[in-house]
Amino acid sequence: MRHIKWLCLSLAASLWLAAGALAAEPAQPRYNTVEFQVDVQREVQNDLLNATLYVELSDASAAALANAINISVNDALRTAKDYKGVRVRSGNNQTYPVYSKGNQLQGWRGRAEIRIESRDFEAAAGLIGKLQAKMQLGGISFSVAPETRRAVENELIVEAISAFKARAEIVRTALAGGGYKLQRLNVAGGHNVPQPRFAMARAATSAQEVTAPVLEAGVSQLTVTANGAIEVVDK
């Protein structure tokens, strides 16, 4: 019985040592390994507008200031409801004290924003022109809408992988290989948004009216990169 137990322990120890030796054995070196990268790009028309308008006022009374700012923002939000294709929401809102050189409190200054988002540029421009009668334009930016970007990037992924395979065949032929094994492949996307141009609103015939800005959304360049490594093998 003791002899059998000793044999079992000896066999288990041998298997453990063998497993340890296999684990410690270095991986077999790979030869004819080539790493490379391909990029595919496409210009896409910007189809999403974002704009910020703000009101900035001063008053000796913090309460009176807050009331005036709230009235201005509420009027702007109420006006925006007539533009169905435009999404409008409140932005940053802050009030801070104003001191004299003698560090005496002189009054208060406040600023509140509203933010506009729309794929209907004509409606957005009309609303911006309407609101500029009482608010200042903080900025306008254009981009590719998320759903548009996803659709284009899905197409570019297919193109990038096809381009990677074509480059792999070029490498295989140059090395006179019979084939290749894909070791790894990474796919990533990115985009570049050139600064768009737009004409600032000009004063119209009435002090209460502002000409809507002329918008040029421009394009963005979407890129998908495929990088990886292949091992060229013999026939």
Per-residue model confidence (pLDDT) at position 110: 96
Dmax (CA) of the chain: 111
Alpha-carbon distances of 7 from 2, 13, 21, rounded to whole Å: 9, 10, 21
* 114 located within any domain: yes
Among 143, 175, 206, the domain-final residue is: 143
Residues in contact with 194: Cβ distance below 8 Å, sequence separation at least 6, in sequence order: 218, 219, 220, 221
In this structure, are 154 and 138 located in the same domain?
A: no
CATH classification at residue 224? 3.30.110
In this structure, are 161 and 222 located in the same domain?
A: yes
In this structure, are 41 and 148 located in the same domain?
A: yes
CATH classification at residue 56? 3.30.70.360
Lowest mean pLDDT among 33-47, 112-126, 187-201: 187-201
In this structure, are 178 and 160 located in the same domain?
A: yes
In this structure, are 87 and 201 located in the same domain?
A: no
pTM of the shown model: 0.72
In this structure, are 138 and 149 located in the same domain?
A: no
Q: Cα separation of 53 and 92, whole Å?
A: 11
Mean pLDDT of 2-11: 42
Helix (H/G/I), strand (E/B), else coil: 204 = coil
In this structure, are 108 and 192 located in the same domain?
A: no
In this structure, are 86 and 152 located in the same domain?
A: no
Q: Are strands 179-192 and 33-45 parallel, antiparallel or unpaired?
A: unpaired
Per-residue model confidence (pLDDT) at position 141: 93
Among 112, 127, 143, the domain-final residue is: 143
* 18 located within any domain: no
Question: pLDDT-derived band of residue 203, with 50, 70 and 90 as boundaries?
Answer: very low
Q: In this model, does residue 190 exceed pLDDT 60?
A: yes
Question: From the CB of residue 129, how many other CB atoms can be counted at a distance below 10 Å?
Answer: 18
* 70 located within any domain: yes
Contact by Cβ (8 Å): 152, 219: no
Q: Are strands 214-216 and 136-143 parallel, antiparallel or unpaired?
A: unpaired
Q: Cα separation of 94 and 84, whole Å?
A: 28
Q: Cα-flanking dihedrals φ and ψ of residue 85, to 5°? A: -90, 10
* 169 located within any domain: yes
Q: Mean pLDDT for the chain?
A: 84
In this structure, are 196 and 234 located in the same domain?
A: yes
Q: Cα separation of 157 and 164, whole Å?
A: 10
Q: Which domain holds residue 115?
A: 49-143
Tokens representing residue 99 in the block: 């001191």
Domain count, the chain: 2
Chain segment 125-135, per-residue pLDDT in tens: 999 999 999 99
In this structure, are 160 and 233 located in the same domain?
A: yes
Contact by Cβ (8 Å): 130, 81: no
Contact by Cβ (8 Å): 144, 44: yes
